[in-house]
Amino acid sequence: MSGQRHATMVAAATLALTLTPLIGIFDGLGWTVPVLFTIAMIATAGSLTRAAGRGQGLQTAAMCAALLIVLTAGFGDGTGFLLIIPLPDTFAHFGVLAGEGVAGIVREAPPVSAEGGILFLTLVGIGLVAILHDMFVVGLRTPALAGLTLLTMYLVPVSVAPEATAWFWFILPAVSYLWLLADDNLRRVSAFGHRFTGTGQLVSQRFPSPMARTARWSAMGFIVVTLLALTVVPANTSGFIDRVSEGYEGGSDAGLGDVNPWAQLSGSLNQPEEVDVLRVETDDPNPRYLRMHVLDELTTDGFAPNDYENGDSLDSLGDNAPGDAEVYTADIENLAMQAPVVPVYGTPVDLSIEGSWEVDDETAVINGDGSDMGDVDSYSMSYVDSAPSADVLAAADGMDPSDDRWQDNTRHPTVPELTEIVERELAGAETVHDKVLAVQRYLSASNGFQYSLETSDAGNEEAILDFLETKEGYCQQYAAAMAWMLREADVAARVVIGMSQGTRDGEEWVLTNRDYHAWVEVYYEGSGWVTYDPTPSSGVPGAVSFPWATEPQEENEETAEPGASTAPGESPSGGSTTAPAEPTEGVQSTQGPTLQATDDGTGGGLSFNPAWLLLLPALALPFLPAVWRGLLRRRRLDPARVTAKTAWDEAMDLALDYGVGLSDSLTPRQAAGVLAQAAPGAREAATALGAAMARHRYSPRGADPTGLADAVRDLHSELDKNTEARRRYRAMFWPASLLAKVSAKQAEESARLARRSSRAADRVRSAVRRPRRSNSRKDRSVTGRP
């Protein structure tokens, strides 16, 4: 049994070492506590079941039960019996958390917060892998198969975020696998018996072997060759979840490091909790939208940004700004923004920010040259925000087809169904402005379009056709549809992702994750790129009404963005912001299970969940044998109860705990001699104990117990001193004497039940047995004849 406990600890330790790639997936190290606790609980359950002599089936069931208890206590939201035993409502809540976790995996880019559904799915996956790992290593004694579980724990985070993981993290899983193989081989070889050298000399099990030395050098050479090969073999740099996210969000690789603009937008809007991202103090009485990403490359997968390659220094800001426009200033405090671009208002003329930043020539996006907003605490800027009149735009032409930018901003895939819609809806529109207003009217609520974070699949090959048919979506669908339809009409248009106006807080503006937004920029000759927002304002907290594009009258405003706060009313400058509608029953039906699961504020995660306190007693499980053993020793050596028999029983248990071999055929004095050899410093104590036990057995007067308790303590101290550390800790936390008692008690109980069953069977056979005939009968013979 000691070998199995050792193998259990090795299995748990090797699996824990393989979790290092998760460091690049999660934000911080808070995830390590629940993950390691889950592995420890599963390993403890398996070890205790094996100690009770149960088979592999019951061992697996016990480990699965331990995993369910951990999940129920941490994520059951109080639905379990006694908060740890799952009930039907618990499994229903698990389903909601699983849906939330899948949505978070698809929508969020690493590193993500270790909470809610994502952490739930992580513990479920790691728990199942831990069960299989324990079964391969300990239960089935096939450590070679454990390489599959270790490889799974390594490949999952690497496939999710290859850019967030390092190649050298493969070393720990490889070392863990070699550790498993070496430990199993050592235990198998040790079972063969004693080791001898070629000359016949008896040596210990740890004596170095020439073959082992050769194997170590061979393994070292293989590792060196493998590492050298990794430096020249090309590696794939695209992750599995990245490709899934592209298909899910309708975008492609953003080319912006580890942030996909569409994924950041969708993930922020669907995040259960509202988080403050920026705090702005500006002298602009009615600031508009903060501009971040420009998406001008259109394929069948949707809009995506080009790589920001040709950049100018920040000194070039303001070169194209109107000279007579009013200049505003803004001081922006970064609370939680992480992005490779700087959010800016209007047309910046000056920017003061830490780090290395460049201005893209084509889009005017300010992107980092090795810098990120996560490293910026605050920055300030000066900007102009022109407001062209509707009359000027109505008389203006669009981008000249001879312009070098024409192809990039009008190129679009060929979709015959969309072309037909555009020709029908824009019939009669002559100018660029007429076409823009016609598309806005078509996408308005008066035409049946509604705001919803849940999009539907109508069965079309193109996502834009699904949106135009179902007429449900959020800012991503509205902005992409308007820009695509304008390009079908030969109007230069592109999509912009940034943040809406936010909410006024005294003299400042607060922007949260719910304020991430997408809109459209249309090019006019003379005015340049002009902003339009086709998304219904009822669904956008902090939406701004642009004076040059009067928004079509909305009807049946039934939906609003989740967590929308009331936007400010009329601004001092005469502009206005549209306050979102109050949430209605229709709003709740469009938020889906992700948001409904967190309406009570619990989030189903680990934070502030008192149920985890119930698991604290489980931490004491590994120490229960030590406590039990200590209480037994104290009772035996109690001055009021100690006898030669109790002292000798304690000495025999100490010998068993510390691995001193004593045969049952030895007399007390012979056994005391073996103990004296194992603990030379306690020779007198061992002799006194053996003599006392002999007198107890054979003398009618018994033995005087005086000093026997001290003798046992001296023997214990000397055995502990002369034993190697591993045996010492085993004797302390997993004493073999307790397991022997449990096994003996089970064997005695089994024998007692067998005897009872045998007696019962004998009584049944006696009751049903027919009486035998005898020749001694007087009235008839054995044949029954008279």
Q: DSSP labels for 99-162? A: HHHHHHHHHPPSSB-S-HHHHHHHHHHHHHHHHHHHIIIIIS--GGGHHHHHHHHHHHHHHH-G
Give the whole-angstrom CA distance, residue 642 versus residue 309. Answer: 86
How much is the pLDDT for 390? 84
- pTM beyond cutoff 0.75: no
**Residue with structure tokens 């306690």?**
682
For residue 735, say if its preceding peptide bond is cis, omega within 30 degrees of 0.
Answer: no
Going by the DSSP 8-state scheme, the letter that residue 366 receives in this structure is E
Going by the DSSP 8-state scheme, the letter that residue 26 receives in this structure is B
Judge contact between 39 and 13, C-beta under 8 A: no
How much is the pLDDT for 574? 36
How much is the pLDDT for 273? 74
How much is the pLDDT for 225? 73
The count of other CB atoms within 10 Å of the CB of residue 402 is 6
The kind and range of the H/E element at 393 are: helix 390-395
Give the whole-angstrom CA distance, residue 259 versus residue 110. Answer: 8
Cα dihedral 362/363/365/371 (nearest 10): -40
The count of other CB atoms within 10 Å of the CB of residue 318 is 17
Give the whole-angstrom CA distance, residue 136 versus residue 146. Answer: 6
How much is the pLDDT for 458? 64
Residue type, 425: E
The count of other CB atoms within 10 Å of the CB of residue 496 is 25
Give the whole-angstrom CA distance, residue 650 versus residue 712. Answer: 7
Distances (CA, A) of 94 to 16, 62, 128, 569, 601: 25, 20, 15, 42, 16
Q: DSSP string spanning 264-277?
A: HHHHHHT-SS--EE
Structure tokens at 664: 């049952």
How much is the pLDDT for 162? 59
Instruction: Residue 578: name the closest of 480, 476, 445, 482 by CA.
Output: 445
In degrees rounded to 5, what are phi and psi of residue 474? -120, -165
**Residue with structure tokens 């109860």?**
641
Helix axes of 171-190 and 2-17: crossing angle, nearest 10 degrees:
170
pLDDT (tens digit per residue) in 340-382: 889 999 888 889 999 888 888 888 888 888 888 888 999 999 9
Residue type, 379: Y
How much is the pLDDT for 250? 37
Which residues, in sequence order, are bridge partners of residue 351? 381
Burial tier of 103 (Cβ tally within 10 Å: 0-12, 13-18, 19+): buried
Rounded to a whole number of angstroms, the distance between the first and last alpha carbons of the chain is 71
**Which segments of the chain have a pLDDT < 50?**
1, 234-259, 551-608, 780-786
